Structure 1
């Protein structure tokens, strides 16, 4: 709300009102199905997005609007599913789910600190990061449970509840890259020793 408070003095002149409401209510209130101003989205081919991704678009497969059955098919049998989880499942985000079953499902996926996981042993890594508003979906937990996945926790301090999705993603992906870089360095050292 702070972000739009500066608009309050101008609103009566414009015949507009300012409402504060939870995201779920906003979805029900709006009759728009794909309005990016209300529902939030990103154009992956936008110039700013392309620039911030530093060319990753051209090295990765990008899929849009996949259903969960298709996602399961795309994930190989040796894949390991990781969920970026602040260890605080908000049941209000899962209105349609049976809350008791969801709580039990979440408990089937163990929690480890992100730095305590050996990513070097994984053939294929699938990382799921939920948004700040919606959190992690029930389908994500089911997928992690089916693939013997792990919830990754980023320890926080000073009574901070959670990180935004981009920050959490950056921390975890950096750790994955750090560990994989160590493998590459060891392999390079071995090949150098054979050259002597």
Structure 2
């Protein structure tokens, strides 16, 4: 295995740019996974990464040693070892995990989605990558097949979004820079939006057929144009004295009400 000790190393520079820059990730079609769990999630859903990076101290970790041994048997390239100080520079975590992987952003054809009626989520101008990751995690768990993101959303493939989603990126198809109004109008099913002014409760909506949910910006909500394109506006009942839910909580409530109805 190769050992890197210099900041002038070309692979180190590439990884540093990929962890820091959304434009670099888009240009190269690559991103970086940090931690055994995410790497295992990618392996289980997609396959082997392009490269493995491990810190010197990570080589002594039992879980990491097991991961490297298994991936080596399956044909993964030998890991590149970085000194701990260099590894900390490329890791997005305050307390680095000790292992990272370089991966290609998966093509839609490589992703095996949940079977069943068409189930989508439309995200408009959601700017917090943690919120996006949380929504994707709930979406994948509930069986959403496609996630459409408008141009104003945070980068889906950022370290924070990947970490928060916990592998969801590899369980549904992600469509970035989507025209959500066109997606809503062409969807052969019912597109729902949650609003505080709606009269109909989420729990009165029929969610067993092809369904899409639209969620908007953390502060402004959905745009007027997208609200006009949806089929139904619904309200999530909140008996407590709270003004609203954040986007990730609202999305989870909607997704799993559909799961409940399908299993009833």
TM-score by length of 2: 0.38
Larger fraction in helix: 1
More strand by share: 2
Instruction: Give me the TM-score of the superposition, normalised by structure 1.
Output: 0.50
Relative contact order: is structure 1 or structure 2 higher (C-alpha 8 Å, sep ≥ 6)? 1
